[in-house]
Copies of this chain bind each other. A is one copy, B any other.
Amino acid sequence: MSSDRSSAGDPARTLALLWRDPSAVPRRGPRRTLDLDAVVEAATALADAEGLPALTMRRVAERLGVAPMSLYTYVPGKAELLDLMLDAAYAAMPRQDTTGRPWRERVAAVAEENRRLHLAHPWAATVSTLRPPLGPGQAAKYEHELAAFDGCGLDDVEVDDCLTWVLGFVRACARDAADAEAARADGGTDEQWWASAGPLLARVLDPAAHPRATRIGAAAGAAHGSAHDPAHAYRFGLDRVLDGLAALIERP
């Protein structure tokens, strides 16, 4: 469904897991055959390789050589597992030090880091981050990305607004790219789809009533291979995003 959500259940339990609170690992009982990191890594590897729909508690368990229900001693549920996966992915992001460089380069570097994150973990774009995983990875990421706006002359609220806006753009591009990948996985290429749908559309769509749509649609389709080229949309959009920030930052 809608998209998978995270951050359900008890926030205290989730935070203890995210920060690997030592008091959260039990002292009594039989020795555990796994640990939390193994579960998170297996789930991430599965989602990376086959996408979020393939991320099943049963299949994660299978990868670990364990019965499905055993996972629930490590993780309260699937939503929390997604939180842990996301925070681990954030923690693993390389963070380029751009101190002293012009703001435009610094913000572009942040965008690029996030684009790479979503290339490595396409599922990450489709998990709702409205309630972000409040773990060490998210904290380090947020701190690092805020620093890109140091010395821009913006107040604190504006910096947060700008960062949210930039990340939202990258995320939106990544979602489209992930959708394109998913469509390719089970249904043929975008090109194939347009090749079969295009001529059919031409028979029903009246060019006189839709002059711009036919002309511009054809031009856009010819410019990039198919109807929507996520990579081109990112390159084009990022320039507009930076220009939009410039109007705020370099105001007279």
Contacts and interface: CB of A to CB of B under 8 A. Distances in A.
Interface of A: 1-5, 7-8, 11-12, 15, 19, 21, 51-53, 123, 126, 128, 130-132, 134, 139-140, 142-143, 146-147, 150, 155-157, 159-162, 164-165, 168-169, 171-173, 175-176, 178-180, 182-183, 187, 190, 193, 196-197, 200-201, 204-205, 209-213, 215-217, 219-220, 223, 227-228, 232-233, 236-237, 240-248
Contacts of A248: 240, 243
A74 B143 CA distance: 53
Contacts of A142: 210, 213, 217
A212 to B, nearest CB: 4
Contacts of A51: 2
A164 B228 contact: yes
Contacts of A131: 183, 190, 193, 197, 227
A97 B178 CA distance: 35
Contacts of A240: 162, 165, 241, 244-245, 247-248
8 contacts: A5-B183, A15-B200, A131-B227, A147-B212, A168-B172, A169-B172, A243-B243, A244-B244
B5 A4 contact: no
A210 to B, nearest CB: 4
A108 B172 CA distance: 20
Nearest to A122: B2
Contact of A180 (B130, B132, B160, B241): B130
Nearest to A163: B216
A157 B4 contact: no
A103 to B, nearest CB: 14
A186 to B, nearest CB: 8
A15 B197 contact: yes
A5 B179 contact: yes
A190 to B, nearest CB: 7
Contacts of A243: 243-244, 246-248
A245 to B, nearest CB: 7
Contacts of A52: 1-2
A216 B169 contact: no
Given A130-B228, A131-B183, A131-B197, 12 more contacts: A1-B1, A2-B126, A5-B182, A15-B197, A19-B204, A142-B217, A146-B213, A156-B220, A160-B219, A168-B173, A172-B172, A244-B244
